[in-house]
Amino acid sequence: MQTVTLNNGVKMPILGFGVFQIAPEQTEQAVTDALAAGYRLLDTAAAYGNEEAVGRAIKTSGIPREELFVTTKLWVQDTGEENTRRAFDTSLRKLGLDYLDLYLIHQPYGDVHGSWRAMEGLNREGRAKAIGVSNFYADRLVDLIDHNEITPAVNQIETHPFFQRTADQELMRERGVQIESWGGFAEGKNNLFTHPVLSGIAGQHGRSVAQVVLRWLVQRDVVAIPKSVRADRMKENIDVFDFELTDDQMASIATLDTGGSLFFDHRDPAAVSRIGNLSIHD
């Protein structure tokens, strides 16, 4: 598996398995199948409600802990210095682990600076090998970097052919932050899986559109975490390291960028209020 090296020297697989929107009762089998297919990066979150199922799959897999890269995330209601440590301990207990490879602030709301101070401590203690953020636009990311000691290792953001985030990626590169994609397939919006540009490139390589999109992300040095509950799709999604898109094909995909989110803008006041008040503890 190809890896990227984070700003603190930690190596992270460039392709992993995400469990967003997988029901807890399906998650253990899905993760078991993903690990069998060769995935070693697992991405979950407190808000997904399936950390315990991920933990069970890890435990029964028999795969040595040091071969896995496990990410989870802190929800908005748990921000702040003391709350973050409690939430981290809860996630660790649910996962059945004694350390995390990557801990992310899930949303750029609440007391993120207090949370970051706690996460810096967890990182120094070795309990979180790397720390980062998710859904931070450039202004919030720079603010966090400029007023804290440790620069986020990762920023996980919406990134797909219709919202490519090239300017954001360039700023992250300048600041030493690794870009990671969520929603790499845009959840099928804009007819992604039958889009003529993507389908045409897929046909030229004898591959699926999903494989073309993942290969496009990998060639851009973007970490991707595709989700599936089907073992055959998991195997297909990880099989993208034996072909390469040409410069012309990369340029064709570049023309698909709309420059805007297909889901919601984290800077929109209504979205800020809605997400910021969504409790996972109710």
Could you give the count of Cα atoms lying within 13 Å of 191 in the half-sphere of its Cβ? 5
- What is the model's pLDDT at position 30? 97
pLDDT tops 90 at residue 276: no
Whether the per-residue pLDDT at 258 is higher than 90: the answer is yes
**Overall average pLDDT of the 244-268 stretch:** 96
Q: What percent of the chain has pLDDT over 70?
A: 100
Mean pLDDT, rounded, for 131-151: 97
Q: What is the pLDDT of residues 184-211, one digit of tens each?
A: 999 999 999 999 999 999 999 999 999 9
Which residue of the set 48, 99, 103, 137 is catalytic?
A: 48
- Asked if pLDDT for residue 170 goes beyond 80, the answer is yes
Rounded distance between C-alpha atoms, residue 155 and residue 135, angstroms: 7
d(CA 191, CA 9): 39
- Would you state the structure tokens that stand for residue 111, as one six-digit string? 């007391």
pLDDT of residue 263: 93
| 48 catalytically annotated | yes
Given strand 69-74, what is the order of strands in its sheet?
17-18, 41-43, 69-74, 102-105, 131-134, 154-158, 178-182, 223-224
| Angle between helix 112-124 and 138-146 (nearest 10) | 60
Rounded Cα distance, 38 and 235, in Å: 8
Helices (H) and strands (E) in the chain, counts: 11, 10
If pLDDT is split at 50, 70 and 90, which confidence band does 35 have? Answer: very high
Domains, the chain: 3-276 (3.20.20.100)
Would you state the structure tokens that stand for residue 161, as one six-digit string? Answer: 């052919």
Strands 223-224 and 178-182: parallel
**Residue type, position 113, single letter:** H
271 vs 60, which has greater pLDDT?
60
pLDDT at 282 (0 to 100): 63
pLDDT of residue 281: 77
Q: pTM score, two decimals?
A: 0.96
Query: Tell me: the pLDDT tens digits for 36-46?
Result: 999 999 999 99
User: Would you say 241 and 73 are in contact if contact means Cβ atoms under 8 Å apart?
Assistant: no
Predicted pLDDT at 279: 86
Q: Per-residue pLDDT tens for 49-70? A: 999 999 999 999 999 999 999 9
Predicted confidence at residue 262, as pLDDT, reads 94
